């Protein structure tokens, strides 16, 4: 029997995502001036106020208030009418030094000896249903909001958009897990006030369905474009007006959108958030490493979809173990347990080695903090950071290193593919 599956995304102007972006921008600034920085930064945003809390161990000094304001400004909260503005909001910092009890289990003589920054389990997932090996419903949800943000900044086709928005896509699958059609699309977008509410709702729905959706469809391969039929039920701002939004409409916290950040409910999640944590925290680094494994395994043809789990104890170098689930889609004559053993032979999952393999000590995290950490484009960009003394540092940074298909040949050789 056919089944339905739904995933959601939230925009860069969503309160929780504002928090994530501030926390990750603070990490990037510390890493830019001290690659050995240890950072655990939580951010709270609410009406006219930002609160920073957590622990930092670094040789660098960063003006975190300025960093927070720069992020808020870049997102688009620049008007008093939003009740949350980069230039007028308060920024309170309660950051303090990292506990030496934690640090002694992490810092060792060499990267090979580095212990895990915390206990826990992390999951990576990949599927061949999209070109970027991500679940389709989540991929489409992200694309809608990325395109909506682009339209907001263009201010040509649609001039009334504000930064806060959410999307949701429901897809009907066949018994053999093939997407058949999109049944429902939800888009809720913050907007300027209108004098006439019925006219407002009609215009927003017309613009979303008539302008946004065609722009998203144009990015897709023909086989995915066919999923957008005339039978889709559109729910556009279904509660009515959405003028009050962002931190004024709902408080935001770092790490509250972990399913949006990963696989949209597909696969599994170990429960640990990513943003605000330097790569010594395996919640982040090992989640990236397991995604790297899963994606290379699918690209190599080991299975049609795969879930990879790794687990750690705080301060311990070697992981507790690796688990693999191919959901019955394996293309090799091996059990999932045998596949997991082979994975552990190919990929070194010691925390310090993960940092080296994926170049995680570089300031690459601001770009991860909205529209998902997985399925993004691996590319190299130029970044500039300004120190406390006013000196600018320019550097080349490779983004989304865990999305590289650089282990496909090794996987094929190991599995005789």
Q: Domains of the chain (ranges plus CATH)?
A: 3-9+135-245 (3.30.300.10), 120-128+282-414 (3.30.300.10)
What is the pLDDT averaged over residues 335-359?
97
What is the pLDDT averaged over residues 44-53?
98
The confidence band for 112, taking pLDDT boundaries of 50, 70 and 90, is confident
- pLDDT value, residue 210: 96
Whether this prediction's pTM lies above 0.85 is answered by: yes
| Pair 402, 261: CB distance under 8 Å | no
- Note if 406 is an active site residue: no
The confidence band for 116, taking pLDDT boundaries of 50, 70 and 90, is confident
What is the pLDDT averaged over residues 18-23?
98
- Note if 14 is an active site residue: yes
- Note if 412 is an active site residue: no
Question: 257 among the known binding-site residues?
Answer: yes
The per-residue pLDDT for range 133-148, each reduced to its tens digit, is 999 999 999 999 999 9
pLDDT at 385 over 60: yes
- Note if 250 is an active site residue: yes
Instruction: Estimate to the nearest angstrom the gap between the alpha carbon of 287 and the chain centroid.
Output: 11
| Pair 89, 254: CB distance under 8 Å | no
Question: 256 among the known binding-site residues?
Answer: yes
Burial category of 181 from C-beta neighbours within 10 Å (exposed 0-12, middle 13-18, buried 19 and up): middle
The two three-digit tokens of residue 306, written as one number: 């795969």
Of 63, 70, 250, 348, the active-site residue reads 250
Relative to beta strand 49-57, strand 90-97 is parallel
- Cα separation, 91 vs 134, in Å, equals 37
- Cα separation, 12 vs 245, in Å, equals 13
- Note if 197 is an active site residue: no
pLDDT at 107 over 90: no
- Cα separation, 140 vs 7, in Å, equals 9
- Note if 166 is an active site residue: yes
The per-residue pLDDT for range 229-250, each reduced to its tens digit, is 999 999 999 988 899 999 999 9
pLDDT at 99 over 70: no
Closest CA to 191 of 164, 218, 227: 164
Mean pLDDT score across all residues of the chain: 94
The two three-digit tokens of residue 35, written as one number: 């690659």
What H or E segment, with its residue span, contains residue 307? strand 305-312
The confidence band for 114, taking pLDDT boundaries of 50, 70 and 90, is confident
Question: 242 among the known binding-site residues?
Answer: yes
């Amino acid at each position: 029997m056919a089944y339905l599956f739904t995933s959601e995304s939230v925009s860069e102007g969503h309160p929780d995502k504002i928090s994530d972006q501030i926390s990750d921008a603070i990490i990037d600034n510390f890493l830019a001036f001290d690659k050995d920085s240890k950072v655990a930064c939580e951010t709270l945003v609410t009406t006219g106020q930002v609160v920073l809390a957590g622990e930092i161990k670094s040789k660098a000094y960063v003006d975190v208030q300025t960093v927070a304001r720069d992020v808020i400004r870049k997102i688009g909260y620049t008007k008093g009418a939003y009740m949350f503005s980069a230039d007028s909001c308060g920024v309170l910092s309660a950051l303090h030094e990292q506990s030496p009890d934690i640090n002694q289990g992490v810092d060792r003589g060499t990267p090979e000896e580095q212990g895990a920054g915390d206990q826990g389990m992390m999951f990576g997932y990949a599927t061949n249903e999209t070109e970027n090996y991500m679940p389709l419903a989540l991929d489409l949800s992200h694309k809608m909001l990325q395109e909506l943000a682009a339209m907001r900044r263009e201010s040509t086709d649609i001039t009334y958009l504000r930064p806060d928005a959410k999307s949701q896509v429901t897809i009907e699958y066949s018994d053999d897990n093939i997407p058949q059609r999109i049944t429902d699309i939800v888009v809720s977008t913050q907007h300027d006030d209108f004098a006439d509410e019925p006219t407002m709702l009609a215009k927003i729905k017309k613009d979303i369905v008539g302008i946004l959706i065609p722009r998203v469809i144009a990015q897709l391969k023909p086989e995915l474009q066919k999923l957008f039929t005339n039978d889709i039920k559109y729910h556009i701002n279904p509660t009515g007006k959405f003028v009050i939004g962002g931190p004024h409409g709902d408080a935001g916290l770092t790490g509250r959108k972990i399913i949006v950040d990963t696989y949209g409910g597909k696969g599994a999640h170990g429960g640990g958030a990513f943003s605000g944590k330097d790569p010594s925290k395996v919640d982040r680094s090992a989640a990236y490493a397991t995604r790297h494994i899963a994606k290379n395994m699918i690209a190599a043809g080991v299975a049609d979809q795969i879930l990879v789990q790794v687990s750690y104890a705080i301060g311990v170098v070697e992981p507790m173990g690796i688990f693999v689930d191919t959901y019955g889609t394996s293309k090799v004559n091996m059990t999932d347990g045998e596949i997991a053993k082979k994975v552990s032979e190919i990929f070194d999952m010691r925390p310090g080695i993960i940092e080296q393999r994926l170049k995680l000590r570089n300031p690459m995290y601001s770009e991860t903090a909205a529209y998902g950490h997985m399925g993004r484009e691996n590319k190299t960009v130029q970044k500039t950071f300004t120190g406390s003394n006013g000196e600018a540092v320019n550097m080349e940074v490779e983004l989304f290193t865990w999305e590289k298909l650089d282990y496909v040949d090794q996987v094929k050789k190991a599995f005789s593919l």
